[in-house]
Structure 1
Amino acid sequence: MSTGLDTYLRMHTGLDDDTIARIRESARPRTLRRNELLLQQGQVCRYKTFVQQGLLRTFGTDEAGVEHILQFAPELHWTLDAESYDRQEPARFSISAVEPSELFLWTKTDFDRLLTDIPVLAKFSQQLVSRNIHNSRHRLFSALSATPEEKYNEFVNTSPDLLARLPLHMIASYLGISLKTLTRIRHAQWHR
């Protein structure tokens, strides 16, 4: 049975079919309903997650109860609360399904074993971590220095496929702007 994971690993790592099957078979499949939590703030993140189909979001809630979205993970992307997973301590963030999602989950023990046994996977995993750090630094700089219009335009340019899949309040939360500001920006752009 070939999956999106198989195609993804074949394309990005060049691993043979038997090795890819071993990676897939060491995972636990899981389906989430819309808005169902994969990880709740305060729980320990026990799984490295690959999104086979669907869309997840990683978010935190501040003391005033306002939600701040850190990341979206559409199909063919990985997600986890890295600090909680690596240190096996309570997560500061939650992960939930924006839409019905099909996932592959690996425990830390199982994934670490795969990294030890499959050097190509270990190298690819390091590349993903490096890319994630780069993207996070870029996003942080943008959050600190860009205008709301620049933030929205960057989101449109880098994630056009997510625009139709996300409610506006989630886009606003991700960009760190109010829903009112996002609506104003979109309205102004439509009238240009």
Structure 2
Amino acid sequence: MIPEFQTYCRTLTNLTSEEVDQICAFAIPRSLHRGENLLQQGQVCRHKTFVIKGLLRSYGTAADGAEYILQFSSENNWILDPESYHLQTATKFNISAIERADVLQWNKEDFDRLLKDIPALDRYSQQLASRNNYNSRQRLFTTLSSTPEEKYEDFVRNNPELLPRIPLHMIAAYLGMSLKTLTRIRHAQLHR
């Protein structure tokens, strides 16, 4: 798993080989079965997680049992509950594997030390946080201002590689619509 992360770092960051090795020294490899939880509601998020292989989702469950998916995270992406991680408070969300997954994790204390010791990692981490904030705001705007059809078209346009990997009911939960509505939209698109 470490070689894949090293390739990611060489491709997308300005980290030196020595800095990448230093980061990798603290990495904790973990494998997840399909449906296995990485983080459960009520726990404290104590790790940053990088997906080497597989697909994870971050989601919450409403009082009526309905799931609302906040994020999908596939290969070469990070996943965590930022609020729980930074404040070290209980999370309101779950993170689970949609398919078998291999991940690398860094505990908060080690990652905080790495951020202090490696300025390029700190800059990259801030860039990721900024990009995630931008993406979240864009998603919120789309959710509030778009029709169900537009939401689905936006998802297909921005995530074509994920479409065949995610069950329809999860796509519906991510888009904030019922499975029935999503099925109707897909059916109408097929008959255009």
The one-letter amino acid of 2:62's match is D
Per-residue CA deviation, residues 111-134 of structure 1 (Å, 9 max, x unaligned), is 001100000010000000000000
Instruction: Give the equivalent residue in structure 2 for 1:73.
Output: 73
Contact 2:2-2:24 within 8 A present in 1 as well: no
* Counterpart secondary structure, 2:171: helix
Runs of 4+ in 1 over 2 A off after TM superposition: none
Instruction: Give the equivalent residue in structure 1 for 2:134.
Output: 134
Per-residue CA deviation, residues 67-110 of structure 1 (Å, 9 max, x unaligned), is 10000000100010000000111001000000000000111100
* Counterpart secondary structure, 1:76: coil
Instruction: Give the equivalent residue in structure 1 for 2:164.
Output: 164
Partners of 2:68 and 2:176 lie apart in 1 by: 7
- Map 1:24-43; keep pairs closer than 5 Å: 24-43=24-43
The one-letter amino acid of 2:158's match is T
Partners of 1:101 and 1:141 lie apart in 2 by: 31
Partners of 1:39 and 1:46 lie apart in 2 by: 9
Identity score, percent: 59
Partners of 1:44 and 1:167 lie apart in 2 by: 28
Partners of 1:14 and 1:86 lie apart in 2 by: 25
User: Could you tell me how far 1:2 is from its partner in structure 2?
Assistant: 5.5
Partners of 1:168 and 1:2 lie apart in 2 by: 32
TM-score normalized by structure 2? 0.98
TM-score normalized by structure 1? 0.98
* Counterpart secondary structure, 2:99: strand
* Counterpart secondary structure, 2:35: coil
Partners of 1:5 and 1:177 lie apart in 2 by: 35
Tell me, which stretches of 5 or more residues in structure 2 are unaligned? Answer: none
* Counterpart secondary structure, 1:186: helix
Instruction: Give the equivalent residue in structure 2 for 1:119.
Output: 119
